[in-house]
Chain A
Amino acid sequence: MAYTPEMKELIKRVEATRPERLARARRGENYPALTMAEREEVLSKYHPDYQSDAKRTVQVGPNKGDTFQEGVARLLESRSIVRPDKVNLSTVDFDTDVLVLGGGGAGTSAAIMASQGGCRVIIATKLRHGDSNTIMAEGGIQGATQECDSPYYHYLDTIGGGHFTNQRDLVAALAHDAPLSIAWLESLGMIFNKLPDGRMDSRHFGGSSRKRMQSAGDMTGAEIMRVIRDEVRNRSNLITTLEFHPAVELLLDEEGKCAGAILMNMETREFSIVRAKAVVIATGGFGRLHIKGFATTNHYGATMDGVVMAYRAGVGNKCLHSTQYHPTGVAYPEQNVGLLITEKVRGLGAHVLNIDGEQFCFPLEPRDVESAELIREAMDVGKGIITPTGRVGLWLDSPMIEELHGPGTVKKELPAKFIQFERHGIDISKEPMLVYPTLHYQNGGINVNGDSETIIPGLYGAGEAIGGVHGENRLMGNSLQDIITFGRRAGRNAASYIQGGVTLKGLTLDHVVKFEKELAEAGIEDPAIAPILLPDYATEEVVERRWTEALTDRAALR
């Protein structure tokens, strides 16, 4: 759907203020950024995380007493898909050294490193290998590779962006490994945006002190994912990939070491038991929980499974109360709603504007601050633009990029976005985009240390599923880095743990039995069954016509 005539009228207001704004941009002048105190104020008033409605404390498990959004709390207090006492753990279907849960960027790099360490690896993943948040990442990956930069500044930017709530050993690991990760990707044949002499064409991003964002067109995550997946496929002698085979429960051994997982073949609904000397949780984020009804940028399988399974096994989490809303999700056209418009658009100089074409914020604030400022402008100041389907948005003035960097820049720097909008009759090099914050990133996750280890021997975590790297707010480009840094660390450390000699004792699900007992004791009624694996988008009308109440055997219809 191209813009309606009414919207085109409104765009004229944006065009009217553009020359003046361009002149300022050319002089290097920007809308002033907020002070620390102002940041705090706008966050506390307008950021969904800071609002107390729809939040509650959980009553069981390692994070007992902590407060979470309702959707998250419900899954932390959930029951297993299987009845633990009825599962026969004596027939093992697969025996392996390392079991990696999740075929996104973190899991895939862990698998490569574990195989490099001589281990046999199984990657069990929910959808196809690579169907993940990783493949969707557009903007880029951080790494202090330029001379004017260093891991020191990467550390500072990261911890400042996270409001100093980050877990420090994780930040240090990230800043330290980042250039190593990028060099690794380069050696695997990833195509980075480079200047003719090979120098990384790196850019600024929200919250950066140095141009540290390295990218591959606007398909950075896709390029990473394609390359490392291809590398896994070249190692079929050591790595087996099981697609449509999500894990539904972790297995421990009688000594409390992690010892594998139960998988489910989603197509045939058969279960299988994998015994593994080490397990890496790399199951990604939770966007598909649609916290507070927000649209999301995340892939179809982002349902927090790893956090849920680890929680039952006794591994707690941190910062999970904090969700990252990406300030610029698509608000129009309807087909693209929720999808991300990379921060690179603002990095390239596009302004965020209200209905009158006025700037109301510094375009490159940390993401949570930026999101809160957009929500304020639309909801409180009332200067948002209403779409024909009743969504609200603000303008992102992409045509400025053509003026600032030369004609053709939008198509060259943002090819995927350009095509995505062009399909719907909108030329973003000439018309602005309509945007609104969208649920983007699970800031928190399971507790690990700088070596990717959890408190359970043999259980590792990496990627969006872990918490603490970004504190309560993540900077762009740090999670693509996080998945490679901690993915590689998890794979390498799992391999050396196994090389140190691991003998597994009998498999058990006692931790699940114990957890469910706690649930009952806490009086939690009708707990959810999780992991939920996939969201359900059936409409109310369809659900009604499924006659769930009148059915003789509900299970038969699942």
Chain B
Amino acid sequence: MKISYYPGCTLKSKAANLEAAAVAALATLGIDVEEIDRWNCCGAVFSLTADDLIHQVGPVRNLVRAKEQGATQLVTLCSMCYNTLARANRIMRDDAVKRDTINRFMDEEIDYAGEVEVVHLLTFLEREVGWQKIREKVKVPLEGLRVAPYYGCTLQRPADVGIEPFGSFHLMTGLLEALGATVTPFAAADTCCGSYQVLNGEAGARSTAAVILDNAAASGAEALATSCPLCEYNLGKQQGRLLEAGQITTAVPTFYFTQLLAVALGVAPESCLFDLNSAASLDLLKTKNCLVAA
């Protein structure tokens, strides 16, 4: 099976691990990832500001590319990319006035009206592959590994683009369980990681991160799974400093869900680029026998 895929800028640099693992994992599932041609930035935070239609042009252009290339659904991994693309798609599908303005502005492109469905990989895995099939394909079950499923904000907010209803975490839970891990639900799973606040209020962002990490540790988690490079930065990168400053006491190694998926499916750890993670722990995976034998 072939899927049209939108990566996002960060996944081509700092978060190459998020992507590499996904691609490798999907390959073992017989899914061919085809990156759309000529994509641009998803729009990131710009497209989320209230009344600035021009900033929708970036995300919409990617959707146009996908439509042009014959896709009916466009899969993406990063929470932020998913969010901006899905929201731009909403506007194009539901808001006739804005749709018309944007289409007129982009008169060098074909008209677009939300024809392509933006799908997050978690949704895709449940819907098109199924947890059962994944369970069958697992080579190295993550048995005994206790993982906190961290959603942050952009996977579920706003409700009309959320990958599942606010307060529900069954997608990531379903996946982690299928991989053999023990899921440790925790209250801060949908608390914002601090997002771009880290740029102008680092202290504030750091204390938010501390709350999340503390809460995860308290739930008994040994590791945390996320799908967002920004969350990974805020929780992972800051973790060392928080430990040092004594703001938290327990380390919670942070992984992308694609990395956990990949190792469970028997992908070699080198293909998952763990060295790019800020606070992953290969040792943890090793002691838990979660890595395929070299």
**When A and B assemble into the complex, do they touch directly, with CB atoms less than 8 Å apart?**
no
